[in-house]
Amino acid sequence: MKKTFIFILFAFYANVLFAQDIEVKSLKQIKASAEASTRKDLNDKTCGLLRIKMDEEGAQFSGNLVGDVVYKNGEYLLYMSSGSKRISIKHPNYLPITVLFSEFGINKLASGEEYKMATKLHKEKQKNDPKKRGIVQFHIIPSNAVLAIDNQPEASADSGNYTVSLPIGTHYYSVTYDDFTIDNQAVKVEKQPKTVEVDLTEFCPWLNIKSQDTDADIYINDEWRTTGNWSGLVAPGEYTIQARKEGFRTLSQTITLQENERFTVDFEQMKPIVGSLKVDYEPRNAEVFLDGEKVGVTPLSLDKVKPGRHKLEVKKEFCKDVSKTIIITEDQELEIKGKMPMTFWGVLLNEAEKGDGCAMHLLGIYYGQITRGTLAWEEGECYDCFKRFCKISQDSYHGVENHYDNVDFESNKPDYQKASYWLDKAIHHSPTHKYDDYKASIINDLSYCYAQQGKYDDSFRLAKICVEEYHYEYGKMLLAWHYYFGKGTAMNKSLALKLWEYIPTDSSANDVLESTL
């Protein structure tokens, strides 16, 4: 938003300017009267009193004024903040002017002091002769300020130095730097060259804005200026300074700047706009993903979540994944909880941990990827356990059976250590008075897993139990086959040969050994 002290449109006809001027004849400090100390500024500091002698009412003033302007006895009484360096005067019958106190030997108005300005109103017409010209040199600080003469901008000058040829007579110039403008300053052009010095830094405020967030956008009165830090000259007046950043709370400060004031706005670290999320799913220690990134395990509390839509995922082995879209609201906690549906293998693990021997056996087969089909699904504990799985998982008997049959064992790396753990537990949780073939099959599977881990002595010990105690013909054949083809080592062959003496000659396992050894 461009700020200027005075603005007026000029009409030009054949290079003739008709002007009625306000001339300042004098400005001096006088003895302070009682009226000089009757008004204070916003900082509770006594103002300075400026009396302006003028024959006509209707004048308007701009500057560091405090309170209303009073006109009595041919004088305007203006109360101004201490430190004021200029006053702008505008009257409907005359061209406006800006008076710099320094031109009359007064650097700035002092608190509690009184000053008197005498003016003269000129109503005669003034003519500029275009045929007679003079040279005016302008030296402007800061050097990148823009000069305009008679409302016409001049081309940019090097180091703030302008040399201009103008018709002899009175002309008006303005100087603009960023938000700050000095407008309608009169210069009288004569035959002799003239120099005009304009130093905006003598009376305009300097504003410095610092932000700890270097990527924050800086706004002055809702206008974007830069990203990070900003500094520059501005016009006296009120400003709202803001640091804005998406996803963070806007920082804002409103200030009032006086002439020649140096002011720094130092913004602290911006705080994110966040909500909170609580995720509590059973079973515990399930992995939680937010927008594809793992953020923890259940139960989980997050207190710095960006408001808006997010994709929430909860994952755990042997459970069906939970996936949903959630909406986080600023300064509110969203709680998501529930129970993750178990997969077939999740139900199996749950039953095994409760002590079911059949479930333990199934887990051993799963981890070891033993696909020989050693379980008799329609017999005893195995069948009863299977029916319980169906009930818990709310699937049909055939549905769960098909699930098991379709498990892709080959896509997973066998974990014989876990397989051994569950098979060993299954042995101790199986009855000894019935289903001997079932228990023998567990021992057989465990023997195989031990062999895969290189525990050949333990594997052979179980093989002997399988043959001697349970007379497990099917197991004899399988063991003979596994030991020979498992690794192809001398140890495996040696173990296979040891089995020979435990396998009756009429056994089908004998045929396997004869064909392989």
Average pLDDT, the chain: 77
At residue 393 the predicted structure's pLDDT band, cuts being 50, 70 and 90, is: very low
Q: How far apart are CA 49 and CA 33, in angstroms?
A: 9
Domains and CATH numbers, the chain: 21-122 (no CATH), 129-202 (2.60.40.10), 206-267 (2.60.40.1120), 275-339 (2.60.40.10), 344-516 (1.25.40)
Contact of 63 with 80, CB cutoff 8 Å: yes
Q: For position 287, what pLDDT does the model report?
A: 94
pLDDT band at 150 (very low <50, low <70, confident <90, very high): confident
Residue 79 has pLDDT above 90, yes or no: yes
pLDDT at 82: 87
State residue 20's pLDDT score: 63
Q: Let me know: does 76 contact 49? Beta carbons within 8 Å.
A: no
H helix and E strand count, the chain: 10, 28
- pLDDT of 274 strictly over 90: no
pLDDT at 354: 79
Q: What average pLDDT does the segment 222-228 reach?
A: 91
Cβ within 8 Å of residue 216, ≥6 positions away: 227, 228, 243, 244, 245, 248, 251, 267, 270
Cα 108 to its chain centre, rounded Å, is 47
Q: What is the pLDDT of residue 280?
A: 93
What is the arithmetic mean of pLDDT over 191-196?
91
Question: How confident is the model at residue 489, as a pLDDT?
Answer: 47
Average pLDDT over residues 271-276: 88
pLDDT band at residue 261 under the 50/70/90 scheme: confident
Q: Is the pLDDT of residue 323 over 90?
A: yes
Q: What is the pLDDT of residue 433?
A: 40
User: What's the mean pLDDT in 105-133?
Assistant: 81
Question: In sequence order, what are the residues at sequence separation of 6 or more whose Cβ sits closer than 8 angstroms to the Cβ of residue 13?
Answer: none
CA atoms of 336 and 280, how far apart (whole Å) = 6
* 139-161: average pLDDT: 82
Separation CA 281–CA 466 (nearest Å): 44
Distance of CA 396 to the CA centre of its chain: 50
